[in-house]
Amino acid sequence: MRRSWHSRRRQRGVAVVTALLLTTLAISIVASLFWQQQVQVRSMENQRLQLQTKWIQRGALDWASVILRQPFGNRISLDQIWATPLAETRLDQYIERERIQGENFTASLSGQVYDAMARYNLNNLASGGVRDPVETEVLGRLLTNLRLEARLARPIADLVAAGQPLTAQDPINPIAGPQTPRTGNPMPVMRVDDLLAVQGVKPEAVEALRQFVIVLPAEATKVNVNTAPAEVLAAVLPGCSVSQANALVEQRKRIPWNDVGIFSGEAQCLAENAQPKIDVTSTFFLVQSRIRLDRAALDAESLVQKGSLASRGGVNVIWTRQN
């Protein structure tokens, strides 16, 4: 009788433990399912936010295109409407979204258009796969103005030349005929960060150059004297120092130049018989936008090209890079 009682007691204990284990297992399974569902919901929300930010970014490009389609006459200068930055603008009322009570949902857009031809185009350094010695000197002066090593101009120009199809002869020694054919496909320089491939170019130098140089899809573009910073002006104008270029920058704030000939006549520091690649207008622009949408954030930069009057002033997007 005592054995039967102890046996039933042990069975009840095993049943209780088994029930507890099954309950724990069931709770774990349910919790796991809820967690997976929460992860999927959050993932769908993130995808929706990213999609909405991309649509807003497209809207920012449309805004810039409308501004750049305006007729600006014979010059592009910093006193025109395109140079006015777009202050941070709240977009909450324009975003379709199911609101949660008490939720602090924010959406904003800010941006600015910059003249890409205010910077020095690295593609000027070579043509047809051959380094241009004159433009190499221009880059050397720019490096000096930025307190960087001028000796880096030659290897940077060689990198740009190596990335172009070889279609020209060496201008220094034309009797030698065409250069030796290269093997493999050339790797063109696409962005400023590509300069890190040059031995001796450090990340600090790339950051210092970022606001003063650019890689434009067209070769031999000119620098806009109405928008270029003093460091770039002093580099492209032989004989001009940075202080003299700063005086020109102050002068254009009062009256921008409508003609290259007028500028050359007023730039007294310009070396005699110099033929710098300069202009008073621009066709390439950078559109930078900063979008904040709840948890999502998108910083984008686009290079656009403004068409001529013959193409009805259309604006083409060359590339867009997102951070």
Condensed to tens digits (0 to 9), the pLDDT of residues 8-39 reads 666 676 777 777 777 887 787 777 777 776 66
Q: Is the pLDDT of residue 311 over 50?
A: no
Sign of CA dihedral 217, 222, 228, 230: positive
pLDDT class of 304 with cuts at 50, 70, 90 = very high
Q: Is the pLDDT of residue 209 over 90?
A: yes
Q: Where are the domains of the chain?
A: 53-117+283-322, 120-210
CATH of domain 120-210: 1.10.40
* pTM exceeds 0.85, yes or no: no
Q: What is the pLDDT of residue 204?
A: 95
What is the CATH architecture assignment of 53-117+283-322? 2-Layer Sandwich (3.30)
Other Cβ atoms within 10 Å of 127 Cβ, number? 18
Token look-up 């690295």 returns 122
Q: Look over the chain and give the mean of its residue pLDDT values, rounded to a whole number.
A: 82
Segment 253-277 mean pLDDT = 89
292: which strand partners?
Answer: 108, 297
Q: Is the pLDDT of residue 175 over 50?
A: no
Q: What CA–CA distance (Å, rounded) separates 244 from 231?
A: 10
